[in-house]
Structure 1
Amino acid sequence: MAYKITAECISCKRCLSVCPNGAITMVDNQHHIDAKLCTNCAGSIHTVPQCKAVCPTYDGCVEETTDYWESWFKKYNQLIAKLTNKQDYWECWYKTYSQKFSEQLQKNQVII
Structure 2
Amino acid sequence: MSLMITDECINCDVCEPECPNNAISQGEEIYEIDPNKCTECVGHFDTPQCREVCPVDCIPNDPKHVENQEQLMDKFLKLTADK
Higher strand share: 1
Structure 1 residue runs without a partner (length 5+): 68-112
Alpha-carbon deviation of 1:40?
0.5
Alpha-carbon deviation of 1:65?
1.6
3-state DSSP of counterpart to 1:17:
helix
Distance in 2, matches of 1:26 and 1:12, equals: 11
Distance in 2, matches of 1:28 and 1:49, equals: 23
Alpha-carbon deviation of 1:25?
0.6
Structure 2 residue runs without a partner (length 5+): 66-83
RCO higher in structure (CA 8 A, sep ≥6): 2
- Aligned residue type for 2:56: T
Alpha-carbon deviation of 1:29?
3.6
Distance in 1, matches of 2:50 and 2:60, equals: 9
Higher helix share: 1
Q: Pick from 56, 59, 62 the counterpart of residue 60 of structure 2.
A: 62
3-state DSSP of counterpart to 2:46:
coil
Higher radius of gyration, 1 or 2: 1
Structural RMSD (CA): 1.3
| Structure-1-length-normalised TM-score | 0.55
Ranges of 4+ aligned residues in structure 1 off by more than 2 Å: none
| Structure-2-length-normalised TM-score | 0.72
Distance in 2, matches of 1:10 and 1:30, equals: 7
1:1-112 maps to which residues of 2 (within 5 A)? 1-44=1-44, 46-58=45-57, 60-66=58-64
3-state DSSP of counterpart to 1:36:
coil
3-state DSSP of counterpart to 2:25:
strand
